Structure 1
Amino acid sequence: MQAFRVTENEAPQSHSASSPQPSPPPFDLPDPPQLIPFQTQPDMFGLYSVYPMCPTMAPEANCTLEGVTDAPTLEGVCATPHRVHPGVSSPEISDDDLFGAFTNSSSALLMAWHYSGSNAKSATELNHLAEFLRDPSFKQADLVGFNHARESKRLDELP
């Protein structure tokens, strides 16, 4: 139990056996990684945007029905693939800085794919994709010119 002593013109003072302990010093946080500024190409009005880093999506890039859906029953031209435009280069940022949070660069690129475009991709589906990519019969060179609509049509035409 604490005892208080009050004198004239004074607030109550606590006479506790234990005095408050000083706060521990704040721990140092690592400096955040430097961002590479990204500037868009000027539009027909000469307007452009500057972002602290390359945006993860371009809302106008997939403005057609085919661009926002992937139903096998839809026919049409595939949306133009996203293009990555490098930002201002920075000598302070290395591949290790960009991929350092991941096991390796391939894992980082798979995660980038997972978080780009549609939000309909699940973690389970990403793991499933990685299983296919690890299959010995998978050849990266076979993906040159790959087109989902063409391959789906070939399946539909099977007897």
Structure 2
Amino acid sequence: MSTSALTHRVRVLAAPGDRHDEILTPAALDFVGRLVAAFGERRPELLKERRRQAIRLAAGSALDFPLATAGVRADASWRVAAPAPGLTDRRVEITGPPDRRTAVNALNSKARVWMADFEDATSPTWDNIIGGQLTLLDAIERRIDFTTPEGKEYRLGDRLATIMVRPGAGT
């Protein structure tokens, strides 16, 4: 990947890293470009409204549903899809940063779900975000492992937790 990939006017200014091209694919950059084209102009106003809403809630206002969605709530035939098979039993979940060591340990734990936390458990640096995405890719493809500097090896077992992702505000 070149230092400056251009797709739908999306330019990656960071220096390319090992395997970054597996995450920053032309399709992924095109998707980001389409999101920016569709929502970019509204984004600043939505962020302002989010701050205004936080102030209202902090002042004691009640959280409520938007009036625009009243029709959906009144429609008795409207149903949400059933949860995916790996999410039907969520009594035990584990949360942690999307680094390789945590991923292998969490996936091998007896927890039903591992939430890869890009919000509170991850400093939002370029390397952490792209590295976390690579961790998820390797975990999903069952090719993830980790060896400590002392030589301790971590490998995936047979029964794995279901992966959920908590994206960060900047990811």
Higher helix share: 2
Higher strand share: 2
TM-score (norm: length of structure 2): 0.19
From the CA coordinates, give the structure whose radius of gyration is larger: 1
TM-score (norm: length of structure 1): 0.20
